[in-house]
Structure 1
Amino acid sequence: MSARVKLGIAAVLLLPTIIAGSYLSGWLVTLLLHVNVPLSGLTYWRYLQALDMPAFQMYAGRIKMAGCIGYGSTALAWLGVLYPMLRTQKRATHGSARFAARSDLGKSGMLSKDPSGIIVGKSSGRFLRLSGTRHVLLAAGTRSGKGVSFGIPNALHYEGSLVMVDMKQEGFDITSKARSLLGPVFLFNPFAEDLRTHRWNPFAYVRADRLHRASDLQAISECLYKQTPGQDPFWANAARNAFEAAASLLFDRWQHAEQSGADAQELYPTLGAIYRLMSGNGDDLKAHFKSQLTQPGTSTATRTAFANITSLADQTFSSVIGVAQAPLLIFASRVLDEATSGNDFDLRSLRRLRQSIYVGVAPNRLAEARGILNLFFEQAIKLNTDVTPQKDPSVKHQCLFLLDEFAALGRIDCLVDGTTYVAGYNVRLACMIQSLSQLDDVYGPDKARTMITNLACRVIFAPSEQRDANDFSEMLGYTTERKQQRTRASGGNVSYTDIEERRALMLPQELKALSPKKEIVFVEGAERPVLCDKIRYYEDRDCTPKLLGAVEVPKLEL
């Protein structure tokens, strides 16, 4: 509180203090003089002025005593209120860290009922929400209840658009019916054993005109063929060129069929079609590529792109094609091929039409699905950071990306620096990881630290890794403990000395022993960290009414 504000409060309190003193002094003077007159704020002053009259000289002592007691007591009360506020607080020698009180939660806005706020915990029966456009990072080990206490409660209550990584499809089974009351619901489960999935084709977002086609295809190829640090960039670049050439050829065929009036739907480019084109027909692959270029409608740009590949030496050509085929081999699966051969939802409309997309991949398929999942989220985020709400009034909803097992998705390049600006596009991130070291492994220590810094809210459960426990203990800060030290002198005399010691608000071992019912929340800009309750959606009175089950999902036709 500034000095000006403190002085203002003192001045405001002074007037009622004077009025109270006048009434109290007036009441006392009538009591001491044994008179019965109507009491007002001027009673005492009338008797004080009457002291000049001879008849009142004998009562002067009583009148003055009434004023001293009346005004003195109210003045002391005024000073008693102001003293704690005006005095200079002694600075704690080693720190004054503590957890947030309820008043702190109110000041930080975490007790708001904003339906677009991200739920981060619960305190005294009320949800704690992160409002605005800030992002969240949740660090917790396996089987610690990330979905139970964070993922599912947010899927039930968040009222913007939602894109949710749902590995076991528990989120979909529990929350999709409730979210269908807000808008359309989709499940993209490209390895669905029961064949129930909606479809997504990344090429549906490639602009067909040749002016933009090349750059849009490059965005897809850069995601599929990432440059690995320390390796020769030639192979990744050459694989991208081969992929872009194949995709360009498929677009040429599709456009030619459309212009010819033929049914072109079956010719629309897909990742499975590129896999089959690159696999050849069993003959020499170079000769196969050259034969494809003789078909009508093939553009000069496509011929040039293939020429750059087929002109390579045979051994180099084979190696490049091998690198290009690697992320596409999974499209030998008919289910995955069909799941990526159409578009049942439009990623571009996430901020314009409130909707929910669950991305479900079984944990045992995660390793092979990493490339396709990485491409999905890279494309979804890029398509929703093209125009700000200020420039396009149709952008009226927030979109929350609820990313469970965030590190398992691989390096999403647009998020390396994107955490600093995506909030301005009404895009919010809630990333769930097992430990901070996971981000170091995927993004490198420097980029990982930048991302963590830009994720304004951090939620932690009891850490399992010692490094994380040490980091979180440092983040919580230190407090000053005052102790009395007893000393016995040689003569038998005992003396006591007050000493101050530094102590972490929570030691690393205390963090590792944190109750499974508790969590700690750090919010950028808030003065204090929050120690609060985890949510258990299945026994929470705010969640259980929304547990309506799952919606129907169409079945692929193979």
Structure 2
Amino acid sequence: MPENSRLRRCILIRLSHARPLTKVAIVAGISAAILSACAACAVFVALIGLKQVGPHMQITAIPAWLWYYRDDPLLHLWLQRGLLVSGAIAFILILALLRRGRALHGTARFASESEVRREHLRAKSGIIVGQKGGRYLVFGGTEHVLLEAPTRAGKGVGVVIPNLLSWADSVVVLDVKRENWDITAGFRSRHGQKVYLFDPLDVEGRTARYNPLSFIDRLDDTDVVNELQKIGGMLFPAPEKADPFWAEAARAAFVGVGALVAANPALPFTIGEIYRRLTEGDPKVELPKVVEEAQKRGQRLSQACVSALSDFTSASDNTFSGIKQTITSKLSLWLNPYVDAATSETDFDLRQVRRERISIYLGVSPDNIDRIAPVYNLFLQQLVDLNTRELPATGGQIPVLILLDEFARLGKAPVIASAFSYVAGYGLRLLLVIQSRSQPRSIYGSDITDEIIANCGLEVVFTPKELRVANELSERLGFFTMTVKSKSRTIHGMLANRSISESDQRRALMMPQELMQMPKGDLLLLRGGIPPVRARKIEYFRSKRFTSRISDPPKVAPRLILIRSAKPAFATQAASTGSNVLDQAIEAKRAALVANAPNAREEEPVVTRMLTDDELSGFAEITDEMLVLGDLEELPPPGDEKAALAFVMAMTARAADIPEEAQEPSDLPMIARHDHGR
């Protein structure tokens, strides 16, 4: 390396490590020297222009000469010209001095404030990612964001909740533990947004409903087959290594049975109903009969429906059993009556999120996220599909933020993985939250994971906990060239020689151990086109801007799920020494229902009971004849036995249409009832 370049860099390095007062003194001295040199150069140019330079010129007489001719316009003119020339020379010299040669090992550094502003990180609206210099860093535009934060690193308090308390447009958020709903839903609802909580496994039934099939026009055969194929592709993905026959056959059978259900207006068009059509009786025998009877009645059945059912039921017994098992194993989640009830109707329209400001929270407890992942993957697939059919000019111009916390826990969702490359043009913006890159790599592989990351315009990185992650991040931050000075001393008898040598060495902008020891309140922003940005995390509970917006979420009315049983052995009836008014009214109502029902049998009365633990957990089978739904009022407070008894009696009376005067007083103790058969 040239000696002048090395000297220049050595001076700059020494200056950067000097004390503040020393830096001020050095800068002041250099400035004074530069001004003095410019003034001397200007005077010399003026003397040359006035032809005063000669062999007999005395330098000491110049100040007196300038003072004597101080009012001469010609002297003023040449002094101005001299200042221009000296200024140009000084500017060139400064540029030459500060010009840095090409560094041997790189020039990595952190971004400046001007670079931060240039890359839309000081936008007025967008995704809040941190703070720097006492101001929030807000990422504007339409690009996606990736947040990489280990567990318990503060991603919720630092990114998720601040954005839910500031994002003004539609949002869909995966809300593990329902913390986001509790903290932010009230604010969003209070500001005019339609707010929904979809939590199918909530034990109190407090959830909005979402039927994946409600967006299909069941009267349009083409739309039915097309949409069922999309849903079947998600529910029955082709295995990467195993034989794809079973998945493909399961999809075809799912489409056939689904189209059959869609063609029958008397049946609810739900995935739960499709599951029941496949599991009740012997579908290999029953399905052809249903098709034949429908055709005899002149009922509309599409050719695709008939062909798919024919292929399904005409298979050999072993093949049919394998296909059926493939379908039922993937749809077994709909055995759970909570899931079946929550997907029986739809309370919101996913097609409207770009036309109206809507907030949808996908609530789930951590122990249930793996179980409910297929439903949420299907939800996200439809969200993307339904909102990428029309460009914003015709399909709605309201931006939608899709905030996927714990994204990897959803399992493999190909539609989301591929959506990063095209949904931004439709107004959908993704904020992906992962613990480390190893999570998506283990699910999607390195190639797809790298593609996802490449399609994110900004990466937010919290303090890593794994050495492998820190090593990878250190490599990405880059290296800079630093001059290392080494000293040596040689002694020969009474004489000693000292020598100092300098060499250029490579140094990481942040070493792996420095990254792992980075303060918990710091974060890094990585964006193409600028150096990395080192900033601070946000803690929403320390900012009045956010805490002032927190309010109670809207109340979600619970739904009571009861079981209609056709056998007394499965029911829980009352056994008491005498019949009271309530018992008589209930039994009279039930007797009337049985007597008026077609093919009524006295030995099979209709009774109601709550779900058992086995039924709630999915170990006990629940048929469609057993399921009864009804809306509830607000539940009584915990621990109030009288209120609980009155609540249950009121619900029972309402279900049986019993007048209020026939109800028992609410202060009676609860009595266990048992059915002894008839």
Q: TM-score, normalising length from structure 2? A: 0.69
Q: How far did 1:465 drift?
A: 2.6
Structure 2 match to 1:59? none
Post-superposition CA distance 1:286-341 (Å, at most 9, x none)? 12323332245251432221111111111111111111011211212221111111
The answer to whether residue 408 in structure 2 is matched with residue 411 in structure 1 is no
Post-superposition CA distance 1:417-461 (Å, at most 9, x none)? 321211111111111011101111111111111111111211111
Structure 1 match to 2:500? 496
Please, what is the CA RMSD of the aligned residues?
2.5
Aligned mates of 1:546, 1:85 — CA distance in 2 = 52
Structure 1 match to 2:370? 367
Aligned mates of 2:319, 2:229 — CA distance in 1 = 22
The answer to whether residue 261 in structure 2 is matched with residue 246 in structure 1 is no
Structure 2 match to 1:507? 511
Structure 1 match to 2:526? 522
Q: How far did 1:411 drift?
A: 2.0
Q: How does 1:28-47 map to 2 (within 5 A)?
A: 32-33=67-68, 44=72, 46=73
Aligned mates of 2:355, 2:84 — CA distance in 1 = 62
Structure 2 match to 1:39? none
Which secondary structure state, in structure 2, belongs to the residue aligned with residue 148 of structure 1? helix
Q: How far did 1:466 drift?
A: 2.6
* Contact kept? 2:207, 2:556, Cα under 8 Å: yes
* Contact kept? 1:159, 1:182, Cα under 8 Å: no
Structure 2 match to 1:218? 229
Q: How does 1:102-501 map to 2 (within 5 A)?
A: 102-114=113-125, 117-180=126-189, 181-208=191-218, 209-254=220-265, 257=266, 267-281=267-281, 284-293=282-291, 294-295=293-294, 296=297, 297=299, 299=301, 300-390=303-393, 392=394, 395-491=396-492, 492-501=496-505
* Contact kept? 1:175, 1:550, Cα under 8 Å: yes
Which secondary structure state, in structure 2, belongs to the residue aligned with residue 128 of structure 1? strand
Q: Which amino acid in 2 is paired with 1:408?
A: R
Q: How far did 1:547 drift?
A: 1.4
Aligned mates of 2:391, 2:215 — CA distance in 1 = 19
Q: Which amino acid in 2 is paired with 1:524?
A: G
Post-superposition CA distance 1:176-195 (Å, at most 9, x none)? 11112142111111111121
* Contact kept? 2:216, 2:227, Cα under 8 Å: yes
Question: Paired residues, what number?
Answer: 495
Which secondary structure state, in structure 2, belongs to the residue aligned with residue 360 of structure 1? strand
Post-superposition CA distance 1:393-414 (Å, at most 9, x none)? x511111100011111122222
Aligned mates of 1:141, 1:213 — CA distance in 2 = 43
Q: How far did 1:212 drift?
A: 2.2
Aligned mates of 2:211, 2:152 — CA distance in 1 = 33
Post-superposition CA distance 1:247-302 (Å, at most 9, x none)? 11110002xx5xxxxxxxxx231111112111113xx3312323332245251432
Q: How far did 1:475 drift?
A: 1.0
Q: Which amino acid in 1 is paired with 2:519?
A: S
Q: How far did 1:524 drift?
A: 2.4
* Contact kept? 1:458, 1:522, Cα under 8 Å: yes
Ranges in structure 2 where 5+ consecutive residues have no aligned partner: 1-37, 47-62, 561-628, 630-678
* Contact kept? 1:188, 1:359, Cα under 8 Å: yes
Which secondary structure state, in structure 2, belongs to the residue aligned with residue 458 of structure 1? strand
1:408–1:480 CA distance, 2 compared to 1 (3 A): same
1:470–1:273 CA distance, 2 compared to 1 (3 A): same
Q: Which amino acid in 2 is paired with 1:292?
A: V
Aligned mates of 1:29, 1:547 — CA distance in 2 = 77
Of 100-109 and 208-217, deviating more is: 100-109
Which secondary structure state, in structure 2, belongs to the residue aligned with residue 231 of structure 1? coil
Aligned mates of 1:497, 1:362 — CA distance in 2 = 63
Q: How far did 1:131 drift?
A: 1.0
Q: Which amino acid in 1 is paired with 2:367?
A: N
Q: How far did 1:541 drift?
A: 3.2
* Contact kept? 2:384, 2:419, Cα under 8 Å: no
Q: Which amino acid in 1 is paired with 2:348?
A: F
1:133–1:29 CA distance, 2 compared to 1 (3 A): farther
* Contact kept? 1:224, 1:371, Cα under 8 Å: yes
Task: Tell me: higher relative CO, structure 1 or 2? Use CA pairs within 8 A at least 6 residues apart.
Answer: 1
1:84–1:32 CA distance, 2 compared to 1 (3 A): closer
Structure 1 match to 2:12? none
Which secondary structure state, in structure 2, belongs to the residue aligned with residue 496 of structure 1? strand
Q: Which amino acid in 1 is paired with 2:460?
A: V
Aligned mates of 2:144, 2:93 — CA distance in 1 = 41
Post-superposition CA distance 1:107-160 (Å, at most 9, x none)? 22211212xx11111112211121111001111111111111111111111112
Structure with greater Cα Rg: 2
Aligned mates of 2:369, 2:305 — CA distance in 1 = 34
Q: Which amino acid in 2 is paired with 1:340?
A: T
Aligned mates of 1:495, 1:67 — CA distance in 2 = 54
1:541–1:92 CA distance, 2 compared to 1 (3 A): farther
1:415–1:395 CA distance, 2 compared to 1 (3 A): same
Structure 1 match to 2:579? none
Q: TM-score, normalising length from structure 1? A: 0.84
Post-superposition CA distance 1:63-106 (Å, at most 9, x none)? 5xx77766545644454455545764322221111112222212
Aligned mates of 1:311, 1:84 — CA distance in 2 = 88
Which secondary structure state, in structure 2, belongs to the residue aligned with residue 400 of structure 1? strand
1:105–1:292 CA distance, 2 compared to 1 (3 A): same
Aligned mates of 1:148, 1:129 — CA distance in 2 = 16
Structure 1 match to 2:6? none
* Contact kept? 1:519, 1:534, Cα under 8 Å: yes
Aligned mates of 2:90, 2:261 — CA distance in 1 = 83
Q: How far did 1:540 drift?
A: 2.0
Structure 1 match to 2:27? none
Q: Which amino acid in 2 is paired with 1:522?
A: L
Structure 2 match to 1:92? 103
* Contact kept? 1:249, 1:298, Cα under 8 Å: no
* Contact kept? 1:242, 1:306, Cα under 8 Å: yes
Which secondary structure state, in structure 1, belongs to the residue aligned with residue 231 of structure 2? helix
* Contact kept? 1:339, 1:556, Cα under 8 Å: no
